[in-house]
Amino acid sequence: MPETIFTARALTKTYTSGEMQVHALRGLNLDVSAGEVVVLLGPSGSGKSTLLNIMGGLDHATSGRLLFKDTELTALDDRELTAYRRRHVGFVFQFYNLIPSLTAWENVALVTEIAEQPMKPDEALALVGLEARMDHFPAQLSGGEQQRVAIARAIAKRPEVLLCDEPTGALDSRTGIRVIEALLGVNAQLGTTTMIITHNASIQDVADRVLFFADGQISKVRKNEKRRASAELTW
Amino acid sequence: MAVLDIKLLRDLRRLWAQALAISLVIAGGVATLVLAVGSHRSLDQTRAAYYDRYAFADVFAVVRRAPKTLVNQIAEIPGVAAVDARIAKLALLDIPNFREPASGQFISLPDVGEPALDRLYLRVGRMPEPGASAEVAVNENFANAHGFVPGSRFSALLNGRKRELVIVGIALSPEFIYTTGPGDIMPDDRRFGVIWMSEKTLASVYDLDGAFSSVNLKLLRDASERDVIQRLDVLLDRYGGRAAHGRKDQTSHAWLDHELDMLNNMSRTLPPIFMLVAAFLINLTLSRLVALEREQIGLLKALGYGNATIALHYVKFVIVLTATGVVIGSAAGTWLGSYITRLFGDFFHFPFLIFIKSPDLYAAAAALSLAAAVIGAIRARRDVVALPPAVAMQPPAPPRFHRLLPGWLSMHGIVSQPTMMMLRNIMHHPVRAGFTTLGMALATGILIVSLFTRDTMEELINVTFFMADRQDATVSFIERRSQDVTMQMARLPGVLAVEPYREIPVRIRYGSVERRLMITGRPRDADLNRTIDVDLRPVVLPQTGLAISAMLGQILGVKAGDFVEVDLLEGQRRIVTLPIAVEIEDYFGLRAMMDAEALSRLMREGPAVNGVNLSVDTSRLDDLYEAIKGMPTVSGMALQRVSLVNFRDNVALLINTMASIYTSLAAIIAFGMVYNSARISLSERARELASLRVFGFSEGEVLRILLLELALLCLVAQPLGWIIGYNLAWIMKTNLAGELMRVRLVVEPFTYVLASAVVLAAAVLSALVVRERVNRLDLVAVLKTRD
């Protein structure tokens, strides 16, 4: 039985936007196992990103509890959350967020310099198939390559969790598939728990579990008995 | 209200801190201009009005004794508008509860009516009654220094007889705005007073019935001063007249002129620098601010707004900032200007002050600031407007960076990635980095200019009081005395050493340039009063030839070895030709020195003395004072220790006040410069920095990355700022140098350190303000939005 890495109980998040109260999460319960690949699907505003933000230590829940292993994330202050992100979490964004003044190698090194037991930047870049491009600046890389650098940067510190918010959102299908391939490759080799938000329903087949979000809650859960290989994806 | 204007107001509210910082920099520039030029104009006008209303004379002459019948002849000299003949005598004073001997300049008041020229402004009391032998009026400075009121008494040694005098009035005169006693270079109101007395009384005391010893003239507007002086000299010659002179050589006027000149020069030197820095900063900041609006500009264009409308929108933004700055700066400048005017007005004891309103200044300051601001905005807008709307709305492609070094030379492992980011950023925007550095260097530079005067004054004090004029006291005599007086003085209590000096009034000429001054004869082995050359080495006076102030050499255009023509204005009144032997370093007035024996030969007279320099046993000063107070031949006693204190007080007024004002303004500019650079960097890099926060960089680490670049530029700017500061100080020193006073440029290391410390403190302060912003970076937004 794999270890449980996230435990959410009655998690709620309420935003006050002007005079409106927005209930982004309404008493959500969830367990995520170590090494699992989870895809989060659902319309805009259904709570996927809010959950990911709270799991990543970027945002605070309004009520309820969220445990990372034995640590109660919902009880940590900003400084402790920073340390948590630094040690345990890798992020992949829709728009890559690379530092334009640093090469691919240096963008990865930026994170390995502050991590505790990182892999070498070369190694991380090799994992995403970019060993030949590591001296290039972001301006010299294609969108897919930039996103793979972002993945290499996210995994180089050997995080236990990789949180991806629409990692293929800005990419065409061929490059998108290469990016998913890279993510799954990292999961297979390092056993990193991977949570992927997407609007692209065809990606769900590569996951262990698919969570369908609606109105701040998980409306449906689907377990894939057999994950499809990324090479079989099309969209 | 147009929607774009609503956007403008909201933008201003959103960016209020930055907008205010920019406005304050503009305000700093405007304030210096308004304050410096405004106070100078006010004081200049006040002086002009004072001179005019109280009939300050144009030409001044003293004689031994001339009959009053001569007055009509003087009045007939072409160009003379009015003549005021009177009795003027220097005398020693004995003031109750005041140890040191003081001197009084006694001036007669006509027994009927007011003086024709140099009329008095009566502050308190009344004028002395004609013939009332004990009644006097005194100048306000002197009265204040001793707490005199009408009814106060003191005594004077008039023509060898001690007389008890009673004050009936306290007055001001345009002739004695700046008063220095015999042998003094700085006013000392306790030791020198101007004392007005009934003519009848003074005439009988000095045996000058129907005669005068001083004459002042007012000239017609188009008269030639030179011609009048020549004719006057001819008339006065046989009555023991010393050469007449114009306002330029009148002590009070010349010093006042010098002080106003200094203010004027400051107003010409500092404000342009401040305005330049302000303009430069606005330009830099605004172009970056507008560039940040790229996306919105694209959107506006996509919605159908024309380039002109969009441009106007940003120009309005700039106008609001500039107008705010001009208003704050004008208000602060006017307030500081009237403060300075009052300060100087009090210092000079002007009877009234005229505050000049200078709308032209506000207009000039506004136009200048606005031009700088609009040019800055337009420069940025040009790039943006050139973009097609669709492209403008796309995030800009990642800018192309380059390696700093060839690929084989790796810096990996030597510098951290944040350092690499900083270095590449600087290399990627060399112009911006250069401008930011220059801006901060200018801030350091203007601080040095505001602060260096202290060092320079200390150097002046050191050279004047500790290298050259090392005597403890100088005693001057009413008339020239024979050499025997030296022995007599040496026997006075507490006197350790005596060095006599002789002074001859001369006109010194080279080509068409001429100056009136004193040639001082000194013993060859003079040790108290030494001659210091331009390399600050003591020199022995040569057997022949003159040692002259380096400044005089510059004015006449002569150097050692050249011959100058000298009119001797005492004794046989010959014209002689003398070689320049050496140029000397001095800071007050124009001087010429000669070996005393050579001077007696030149004058064809036996050794004579006008005064002595003394070295004194300070424990016996009181005895010495008492002895001097009883010597009718003495006109005054100057004390170096007191002179030094007075000098520091007088100079401190100008220098400390101006330095504090300018230092504050420079600090504001430095703060504005650094704060704006940091804030804009933050806006430009918000996304990058927020990403770092997401990766687990702490707030401190992110702040360090943001500020590392500015810190480096700030440090690089310091040596550059020192060079700029030194050169600006040189310009200022050169502008301030005058015949009456000048300085040797000295900038102590501490001044550089202090200037840099202020800029760095401003930088740290702005870093603290920016830190708040970094702590508020929106991490979640980064995940979703693109640039």
Query: Residues A46-86: pLDDT tens digits?
Result: 999 899 989 998 888 999 999 999 999 999 988 888 889 88
ipTM, two decimals, is 0.77
pLDDT greater than 70 at residue B356: yes
Phi, psi angle pair for B570, to nearest 5°: -135, 160
Average pLDDT over residues B155-172: 93
Q: For position B661, what pLDDT does the model report? A: 80
Which residue in the set B399, B417, B699 is minimally distant from A102, CB to CB? B417
CA–CA distance, B350 with B65 (Å, rounded to integer):
33
- The answer to whether the Cβ–Cβ distance between B784 and A53 falls below 8 Å is no
Instruction: Strands of A100-191 (E only): list them.
Output: 161-165
pLDDT greater than 50 at residue A188: yes
Segments making up each domain of chain B, as ranges? 1-55+247-396, 63-246, 416-470+641-787, 495-616
Average pLDDT over residues A141-165: 89
Q: For position B35, what pLDDT does the model report? A: 87
Q: For position B405, what pLDDT does the model report? A: 66
pLDDT greater than 70 at residue B380: no
CA–CA distance, B640 with A106 (Å, rounded to integer):
70
Task: State the pLDDT confidence band at B255, using cuts at 50, 70 and 90.
Answer: confident
- The answer to whether the Cβ–Cβ distance between A111 and B693 falls below 8 Å is no
DSSP-based helix, strand, coil % in chain B, nearest 5: 55, 20, 25
Chain B CB contacts of A45 below 8 Å? none
Q: For position B752, what pLDDT does the model report? A: 95
pLDDT in tens, B744-780: 899 999 999 999 998 888 888 888 888 887 777 777 7
CB B313, CB B7: distance < 8 Å = yes
Higher per-residue confidence, B72 vs B398: B72
Nearest to residue B691, comparing CAs of A35, A40, A92? A92
pLDDT greater than 60 at residue B394: no
Average pLDDT over residues B137-157: 94
pLDDT greater than 90 at residue A6: yes
Least confident of A183-187, B64-68, B242-246, B387-391: B387-391
Q: For position B608, what pLDDT does the model report? A: 92
- The answer to whether the Cβ–Cβ distance between B783 and A106 falls below 8 Å is no
Residues of A with CB under 8 A from a CB of B: 49, 53, 56, 58-59, 79, 82-87, 89, 91, 93-95, 97-103, 105-107, 109-111, 113-114, 135, 137-140, 153, 165
Least confident of A43-52, A119-128, B391-400, B419-428: B391-400
Chain B CB contacts of A116 below 8 Å? none
B421 in contact with chain A, both atoms CB, cutoff 8 A: yes
Q: For position B426, what pLDDT does the model report? A: 85
pLDDT greater than 50 at residue A96: yes
Please give the helix or strand (H or E) that residue B782 lies within, else none.
helix B779-784
Higher per-residue confidence, B565 vs B379: B565
Least confident of A174-183, B29-38, B279-288, B323-332: B279-288
Average pLDDT over residues B26-43: 87
Chain A CB contacts of B699 below 8 Å? 82
- The answer to whether the Cβ–Cβ distance between B417 and A53 falls below 8 Å is no
Task: Calculate the average pLDDT of chain B.
Answer: 86
- The answer to whether the Cβ–Cβ distance between B697 and A86 falls below 8 Å is yes
| Mutation site, A86, A110, A197, interface B, largest B CB count within 10 A | A110
In this structure, what token pair is assigned to residue B80? 């003379």
Average pLDDT over residues B437-456: 86
Average pLDDT over residues B22-32: 85
pLDDT greater than 50 at residue B7: yes
Q: For position B734, what pLDDT does the model report? A: 85
Chain A CB contacts of B697 below 8 Å? 82, 86, 114
CB A184, CB A127: distance < 8 Å = no
A90, closest residue in chain B (CA to CA) = B695
Q: A231 burial class (0-12, 13-18, 19+ CB within 10 angstroms)?
A: exposed
Q: Between the CA of residue A182 and those of A39, A151, A154, A167, B740, what are the distances in Å?
A: 15, 8, 12, 11, 83
Higher per-residue confidence, B268 vs B80: B80
Q: For position B787, what pLDDT does the model report? A: 42
CATH topology of domain A4-225: Rossmann fold (3.40.50)
CB B165, CB B156: distance < 8 Å = yes
pLDDT in tens, B575-598: 999 999 999 988 888 899 999 999
B704 in contact with chain A, both atoms CB, cutoff 8 A: no
Q: Measure in Å the smallest separation between the Cα of A172 and chain B Cα atoms.
A: 17
Of A177-186, B117-126, B526-535, give the range with the top mean pLDDT.
B117-126
Q: For position B393, what pLDDT does the model report? A: 52
b/e B747-757 (16+ beta carbons within 10 angstroms → b)? beeebbebbbe
Average pLDDT over residues B166-185: 90
Average pLDDT over residues B446-471: 86
Higher per-residue confidence, B685 vs A71: A71
pLDDT greater than 90 at residue B2: no
pLDDT in tens, B190-240: 999 999 999 999 999 999 999 999 999 999 999 999 999 999 998 998 898
Which residue in the set B401, B696, B784 is minimally distant from A114, CB to CB? B696
Of A139-143, B67-71, B533-537, give the range with the top mean pLDDT.
B67-71
Residue with tokens 């120009």: B315
Higher per-residue confidence, B526 vs B218: B218
B401 in contact with chain A, both atoms CB, cutoff 8 A: yes
CB proximity under 8 Å: B 652-691 to A: 687-688, 691
